[in-house]
Amino acid sequence: MPTPPPSSTWHLVGGGAIGMALAHRLYATGEPVRLVTRTPCPDPVELVYRDGDGPPVTWSCPTTSPSEESPAAGRTVHRLVVATKAYSVGDVLDAWGPRLAPGARVFFLQNGTGFRRPGDLPEGVHALDAVNTGFAAFRSGERTVKQTGDEPFQIGDVIGRSAPAFDSIIDDLDHLNRAGIEAVWTPSIREHQWLKIAANAVINPLTAIYGCRNGVLLDRAETSDLVDSLCVENDRVLEALGFGAASRGLLERTRHIIRATASNVSSMLTDLNRGDGRSELDYINAALIRAATDHDVEVPVNRSIHDRVAERFAACRSR
């Protein structure tokens, strides 16, 4: 079979907050995009995007589904952005792996670690991790998204290369930057992932347990003390992982994130409220506890907080 021509279309899998926000930013600068939703969706679908408190922009977003892009058509997808929660990544790659062209780039936007399986991508496909601490978006309606933060995505590969290994990756980053999605290559993606996990492992479970918006964590003595205790433990884990220098100021950074996202509902609380028992706990809190165990670091507060959240998710599953 002849090799199909490279496609420049961005396939964004996951029509949630991040997927809808990125799709709009790319589309607005003329990039070809296709949003892939889990449930059937009209093509195009009408979406609403708001940049902060700016005016709502209604736009027609092209969509597609794995069934429309059958593997029989060949491996035609070159740019895949996985914008689902960590627990959905396996399903996404089962569906889209066979459609990825040799040399395709797959961008993983998930919070946490440990959601990839060995051999989950075809040979010759490049996996890229994207970490951000400030590109924040939330759904204010089924097809409405508001973007509330705009800090750079750090992008890197598992090898920790000092620069992108292929021109196609450089080209992708250029296109993201032109769309106003700041994308910076980093040789230290693992460090960025763990710094983010260390803060997420504080904010996510506490907001889920106390059923509150992020900002409330610093308003109450009980939750504020827990923020402090968790940061002390997480700092030790980062130190043991070799990220001590970068981790300095974890408590201050976490408090800053809480203040900057004060009115946000965390993604773990959103998952808990959805009520189907699916959570990112294993990829964030349990991942941190596993790392602590591997390095003989005691994390009793983390263990207790993890167990309290796990109980709440288990209660949803058994309902």
Ligand X SMILES: NC(=O)c1ccc[n+]([C@@H]2O[C@H](COP(=O)([O-])OP(=O)(O)OC[C@H]3O[C@@H](n4cnc5c(N)ncnc54)[C@H](OP(=O)(O)O)[C@@H]3O)[C@@H](O)[C@H]2O)c1
Q: How far is the CB of 92 from ligand X (least distance, A)?
A: 5
Q: How far is the CB of 263 from ligand X (least distance, A)?
A: 13
Site string for ligand X, 191-230 (x = CB under 6 A): ----------------------------------------
From 9, 63, 76, 111, residue interacting with ligand X (rule: CB under 6 A): 111
Site string for ligand X, 115-154 (x = CB under 6 A): -----------------x---xxxx---------------
From 9, 10, 11, 15, residue interacting with ligand X (rule: CB under 6 A): 15
196 tagged catalytic: yes
Considering only residues 275 to 304 of the shown chain, the ones binding ligand X according to CB under 6 A are: none
Q: How far is the CB of 111 from ligand X (least distance, A)?
A: 3
Nearer to ligand X, 136 or 169 (CB): 136
From 10, 11, 16, 97, residue interacting with ligand X (rule: CB under 6 A): 16
Q: Are 253 and 199 in contact (CB under 8 A)?
A: yes
From 63, 64, 76, 110, residue interacting with ligand X (rule: CB under 6 A): 110
CA-closest candidate to residue 284, choices 222, 214, 149, 194? 194
Contacts 24+ apart (CB under 8 A), 258-261: 258/203, 258/214, 258/215, 258/217, 258/218, 258/227, 259/215, 259/218, 260/134, 260/149, 261/136, 261/148, 261/149, 261/203, 261/214, 261/215
For 105, the token pair is 């780039």
Q: Is 257 in the site for ligand X (CB under 6 A)?
A: no
Size of the site for ligand X (CB under 6 A): 27
From 18, 93, 195, 226, residue interacting with ligand X (rule: CB under 6 A): 18
Q: Which stretch binds ligand X (CB under 6 A): 55-63, 103-111, 214-222, 306-314?
A: 103-111
Nearer to ligand X, 93 or 305 (CB): 93
Q: Is 177 exposed, middle or buried (0-12, 13-18, 19+ CB in 10 A)?
A: middle
Considering only residues 55 to 94 of the shown chain, the ones binding ligand X according to CB under 6 A are: 83-86, 88, 91-92
Point out the catalytic residue in the list 99, 175, 196, 306: 196
Nearer to ligand X, 92 or 281 (CB): 92
Instruction: Give the residue numbers annotated as catalytic, written as ranges.
Output: 196
Which residues lie near ligand X (CB under 6 A)? Answer: 13-19, 36-39, 83-86, 88, 91-92, 109-111, 132, 136-139, 267
